[in-house]
Amino acid sequence: MDAILRCWDVNFAGCAPIGSRLRMAFPERWVRFHCLPESKRYAESETELATAVRRYDALLDDLNGSRQDVVLITTGYSDSAEPVRSYPMLREIDAAAAPWRTLRVEDADPVCWHFYASTHRWPPTHLNALLRLVAQDELANILIVAQDCSWVFYPYQGGMDVIAASVLRRDALAQSHAEWIPAGIDGL
């Protein structure tokens, strides 16, 4: 795991593994997708929830063309440097996760963010339970990352951000899933 995630500091130098910060640090490789039709943010039915998870899966499948295993990064929070898992459901869904790093995030409360990492075989359809929780806003700040850290997938309620391996790859993903792209000129 350490060898896999050392590449984070090479490919994403100076940027914490926080999804909302990645798009600002790597705007040329960033693209946003919505996971419900008409940019709807909240799933109001089982059908809409299934649509959101299907879109997460489809984009992940397209993103990981090499079919390599992926790394799941989850986050816990506290006021102490001692790693904690803030979401009890992660103990079951991601039982193999190991503490990766703790960062002080001065503009957050609590200030210590504890990142856990685990490797998952492709395709990670067993992570659909986790993606459902994200779509329902019951779980936040997870990343799915290529083993070589060439790309990052950041799902959140209502959408997903991607930091692609290159500008060309970003453009190809955007073209393949053009109907999921937000209408705003700033990509949000």
pLDDT band for position 143 (cuts 50, 70, 90): very high
Mean confidence (pLDDT) of the chain: 92
* Most distant CA atoms of the chain, gap in Å: 44
Residues 6+ apart with CB under 8 A from 154: 19, 20, 22, 142, 143, 160, 161, 162, 163
56-67 mean pLDDT: 91
pLDDT value of residue 48: 96
Cis amide bond preceding 123, omega within 30: yes
| Section 31-51 average pLDDT | 93
Residue 11 phi/psi, 5-degree rounding, is -80, -25
Average pLDDT in the 151-178 region? 97
The alpha carbon of residue 136 and the mean position of all alpha carbons in its chain are separated, in whole angstroms, by: 15
**Torsion, Cα of 17, 23, 28, 32 (10° steps):** 120
Helix axes 128-135, 46-63, angle to 10 degrees: 120
Higher pLDDT, 101 or 66: 101
Which pLDDT score is estimated for 80?
94
Interval 27-35 mean pLDDT: 96
pLDDT in tens, 94-111: 999 999 999 999 888 889
pLDDT recorded at residue 188: 62
User: For residue 95, what is the DSSP state?
Assistant: T
Query: Taking residues 140-149, what's their average pLDDT?
Result: 95
Would you say how long the chain is, in residues? Answer: 188
DSSP 125-178: GGGHHHHHHHHTTSS---EEEETTSS-EEEEETTEEEEE-SSHHHHHHHHHHTG
Per-residue pLDDT, averaged over 174-187, amounts to 85
Residue 185 reports pLDDT greater than 60: no
Report the predicted TM-score, pTM, of the whole model to 2 decimal places.
Answer: 0.94
State the DSSP code for 83.
Answer: -
pLDDT on residue 187? 61
pLDDT over 70, % of the chain: 97
Q: 9 Cβ partners below 8 Å, 6+ apart?
A: none
Distance CA 19, CA 47 (A): 27
Of 23, 159, 145, 126, the residue nearest 72 (C-alpha) = 145
